[in-house]
Amino acid sequence: MTQVIISPAKANSMYWLGRYTERVYLELHLLRICFDFMIDGKPEEYNRYLASIGNTFLYPDLAAIRSGLVHDKNNPVSVLACVEMANDNAILLRDEIMSPTLGYIQMSLEYLRHAAAESKEPDLDELQKLTDWMLAFWGSIEERVYDERVKNFLRLGKLIEHLDMNIRFSYKFYRIEEAFTSLLKCYDFEPRAFSGDALEDLKKLITEQEYDPRDPVYVNKVLLLLGKVVIL
């Protein structure tokens, strides 16, 4: 449907739905890399990944780490916890995003809940389904949602999460720059959704000269600003 105006609560749900779906997509991508490091048993490599993703949970062995990062609903960085959060927001937006779009989140949730209940070892091949469903979710948004404001709030969440994760994982500057340029387009579309001060500070920090993802002070400063720049 094309809605005339959007309530603050719905705009907030759109933003967080965008964030959590992007988080799920990127986590799956990064977990594949992390699991790959585990094959060779290089703790310094996968520990760096665990720290970057924000994991604070301790697991007794590699199998438990693998399982925990996917199926442990109590661990806020697990894929299941992120899909639960995406669903909590999506379910409030059925009238905006339509049932078939919501269906991709529901399928992901059901898949993970069943797998967690059966204590299944995460299967990277099977988890590709979730990646496909996240991509299908975004495709379905493009296909079924005509209201540009709705798309913009979803995209806003997606871009903030994309920047957040890319900076945490020290992606190259050109990747950050691309996402930040897209974020500025969202600003042009709806400047009232932004904190002008936080955006100005971000502009100063996200430059080729300033970009230093290996410096924890820099990373924390940028992540903090990313958390503040959208005011919904």
**Taking contact as CB under 8 A, which single stretch among the options 8-16, 26-34, 179-187, 198-206 is the one that binds another protein?**
8-16
Judge whether 108 and 126 are in contact, CB under 8 Å.
no
4 binds another protein (CB under 8 A): yes
Burial level of 23, CB count in 10 A (0-12/13-18/19+)? buried
Told to check if 192 binds another protein by CB under 8 A, we report yes
230: three-class secondary structure by DSSP: strand
CB-based contact 167:222 (threshold 8 Å): yes
194, β-bridge pairs: 230
**Residues 88-127, interacting with another protein (CB under 8 A):** 91-92, 94-95, 98-100, 102-103, 106-107, 110
Determine if 6 is a binding residue for another protein (CB under 8 A). yes
3 forms part of the interface with another protein (CB under 8 A) = yes
Helix axes 99-117, 62-71, angle to 10 degrees: 150
Shortest reach from residue 44's CB to another protein, in Å: 42
Whose structure tokens read 């986590």?
A: 27
By the rule CB under 8 A, 232 interacts with another protein: yes
Our CB check for another protein shows the closer of 38 and 92 to be 92
Side-chain half-sphere of 184: how many Cα atoms within 13 Å? 11
Minimum gap (Å) between residue 4 Cβ and another protein: 5
Contact call for residue 9 and another protein (CB under 8 A): yes
139 binds another protein (CB under 8 A): no
Q: Decide: is 7 part of the binding site for another protein (CB under 8 A).
A: yes
Residue 185 C-alpha from the chain's centroid:
19
B/e letters for 80-102, b = 16+ CB within 10 Å, e = fewer, are bbbbbbbbebbebbeebbbeebb
Nearer to another protein, 1 or 33 (CB): 1
Q: Does 1 bind another protein (CB under 8 A)?
A: yes
- Binding interface with another protein (CB under 8 A): 1, 3-9, 11, 91-92, 94-95, 98-100, 102-103, 106-107, 110, 192-193, 232
